[in-house]
Amino acid sequence: MKCIINRRAQFSASHRYWLPELTEAENWQKFGQCSRFPGHGHNYELYVSMLGDLDEYGMVLNLSDVKHVIKQEVTSQLDFSYLNEVWEEFQQGLPTTENMARVIWQRLAPHLPIVRIQLFEHPELWAEYEGNNMEAFLTISTHFSAAHRLALPHLTLQQNSEIYGKCARVNGHGHNYHLEVTVKGEIDPRTGMIADLGAVQKAIDDHIVEPLDHTFLNKDIPYFEKVVPTAENIAVYIRDVLKQPIQATGAQLHKVKLIESPNNSAEVFCLPDHRSESLAAQTPVLAQV
């Protein structure tokens, strides 16, 4: 029987986004504060996912052996280091989160049956790499607060209450929504980036966070005058609004995850262009309740 196991590791390191072939002004324009000398640091969290068959002892791999490999090949070399200089790969392409995930995969692949590398630069930014050449995923998390009411206008309060429970109460209720936006793209071999991170963040802020924050969704957002603002429908709305702004940054929108509460979240994926339709598209919604 096949099973995926995950191993977590940590290291602390510093880096700088700086290309010597560019002027100081050009580096600042491209990388902003990340180009400052001598650099800045992070406490990185690394998750290594491995696939294999369960053996007679109920294990895919001996985790002590896995821990030793990760330490020997990655964390012992990167911990308390200046990333730009520690590995040759980071002199060819900058040690961005997504490029680091790719290079760590390359370092571990000869030793472990890995299927995914996930690297957290901090809790609101992480990258994933799955061994697909230069393609990587980058996730930005953010939040907004909003109120909503779950009710269909053609139904009575009693009927809506039977469907939506307390969420149908006439004055609505609110949430502190946690939003995770995942983009994908090809890693630039020199900058190490799949897109301008600042531009991706600005697209999310301008098109989603600012318009939705501190609103009553049913009344302040025209789309939700006719569509019930469930977590699933809000996630679909965010996906469809963000698709073009994210594409303008050079990346592709891959997934939107909306966490309404610790017990309730929804995920929607971005369809290829030839399958994208209206905001009420046929996209599968993965909900956790």
- Let me know whether 97 and 176 are in one domain: no
Which pLDDT score, from 0 to 100, does residue 279 have? 42
Specify whether 110 is located in the same domain as 151: no
Number of folded domains in the chain? Answer: 2
For residue 273, name the pLDDT band (cuts at 50, 70, 90): low
The active-site residue out of 40, 68, 122, 214 is 214
CB count, 10 Å around CB of 245?
Answer: 17
3 catalytic, yes or no? no
Alpha helices in 224-273 (DSSP H): 231-247
From the candidates 167, 178, 186, 207, give the one annotated as an active-site residue: 167
Q: Kindly report the backbone phi and psi dihedral angles of residue 193, in degrees, each rounded to the nearest multiple of 5, phi listed first.
A: -110, 150
Domain end call among 93, 110, 131? 131
213-236 pLDDT tens trace: 999 999 999 999 999 999 999 999
The answer to whether residue 287 scores a pLDDT higher than 60 is no
Residue 108 and residue 181 in one domain: no
Last residue of a domain, which of 91, 111, 131?
A: 131
DSSP letters along 25-84, please? HHHHHHHGGGG-SS-EEEEEEEEEEEEEE--TTS-SS-HHHHHHHHIIIIIHHHTTEEHH
Residue 190 belongs to what domain range? Answer: 136-289
Question: Domain end: 111, 131, 151, which one?
Answer: 131
Does one domain contain both 24 and 58? yes
Within this chain, do residues 95 and 208 fall inside the same structural domain, yes or no?
A: no
Q: Which CATH number covers residue 85?
A: 3.30.479.10
Asked whether residue 74 falls in the same domain as residue 160, the answer is no
- pLDDT digit string (tens) for 149-175? 999 999 999 999 999 999 999 999 999
156 and 113 within one domain: no
Q: Are residues 159 and 102 part of one domain?
A: no
Q: Over 50: is that where the pLDDT of 289 sits?
A: no
How far is 182 from 197, CA to CA, in rounded Å?
Answer: 12
User: Are 180 and 286 part of one and the same domain?
Assistant: yes
The share of the chain scoring above pLDDT 70, in percent, equals 94
Residue carrying the six token digits 């010597």? 20
pLDDT band at 276 (very low <50, low <70, confident <90, very high): very low
- On the question of pLDDT at 275 being above 60, the answer is no
Given a cut of 60, whether residue 281 has pLDDT beyond it is no
Say which of 121, 128, 180, 260 is annotated catalytic.
Answer: 260
* Residues 256 and 114 reside in one and the same domain: no
The answer to whether residue 214 is catalytic is yes
pLDDT tens, residue by residue, 175-222: 999 999 999 999 999 999 999 999 999 999 999 999 999 999 999 999
Whether residue 96 is found in the same domain as residue 124 = yes
- The reply to whether 260 belongs to the active site is yes
Q: Name the residue with higher pLDDT: 207 or 281.
A: 207
Model confidence at 278: pLDDT above 70: no
> Is 155 in the same domain as 236?
yes
Percent of the chain surpassing pLDDT 90: 92
- Compute φ and ψ for 83, nearest 5 degrees: -60, -35
**Structure confidence at residue 277 as a pLDDT band (50, 70, 90):** very low
| Tens digits of residue pLDDT in 56-95 | 999 999 999 999 999 999 999 999 999 999 999 999 999 9
